[in-house]
Chains A and B, each alone.
Chain A
């Protein structure tokens, strides 16, 4: 009965490097969401994906950030050429449905990204 899994739990990168964050949704869930939490703040929506489709990326910065959820394997949030302002906790959530009937989101433990 595994929940949402994220790895790595902690990631340290130097400015200019790439960061790759992985998320495996709960079993039976086909909807994945990424959120970012800055220190002392609530979570902010970044992107909503279904298998092989980006449904809504309106919360994601236009440059350097990308996300995917391939047919096989985990969802990936990729940050290129990281800057200090990217330091944050990145949470992934999944839900069984994106429809009105039942779409409770369950969150993974997060990846804490530190940019030196």
Chain B
């Protein structure tokens, strides 16, 4: 099956700093999503981005599908950005099946 690798696995930032999270995947994908899992365990949708660049406030994401990677940028980080960031790629298989394959995540800690 498809492999999804995220880096770095852990990241500690001072409040106000910027960061880039990376997601590499091993094969062609149909879609890609970024999520933030907050300290209470809830998964928040950040981006649905099979290709191109999108921005939402202090966050932006870029997916280069032909080179099999996606980047998530966080600018002017805040303590509320802490949590785990997951990249998930969507793939179709036979008989109309579709599923997301998740990376292991990047655990971000923003300190005041």
Q: Which residue of A56, A103, A106 is within 8 Å of B31 (Cβ)?
A: A103
User: B101's closest neighbor in chain A, by CB?
Assistant: A45
The total number of A-B Cβ pairs within 8 Å is 61
Which A residue's beta carbon lies closest to that of B44?
A: A107
> Does A55 touch B at the CB level, under 8 Å?
yes
Q: From A46, which residue of chain B is reached at the shortest CB distance? A: B99
Known: A48-B97, A107-B35. A42 touches B104 (CB 8 A): yes
- Which one of A35, A93, A98, A104 lies within 8 Å of B48 (CB-CB)? A104
Q: Residues of B contacting A42 with CB < 8 Å?
A: 4, 86, 88, 102-105
**Nearest-neighbor residue (CB-CB) of A33 within chain B:** B99
Q: Which chain A residues border B86 with CB–CB below 8 Å? A: 42-43
Residue of B nearest to A31 (CB): B98
A59: Cβ under 8 A from any B Cβ: yes
Interface SS majority for chain B: strand
Interface size class of A (residues with CB under 8 A): 20 to 34
Taken together as a complex, chains A and B put the C-alpha atoms of A48 and B43 apart, in Å, by 18
Give complex CA distance A93, B88 in Å: 13
Closest 5 CB pairs of A and B: A56-B97, A42-B102, A107-B43, A104-B48, A45-B99
Q: A104-B31, A104-B48 provided; 6 other pairs, C-beta below 8 A?
A: A43-B100, A104-B45, A107-B43, A109-B42, A110-B42, A110-B43
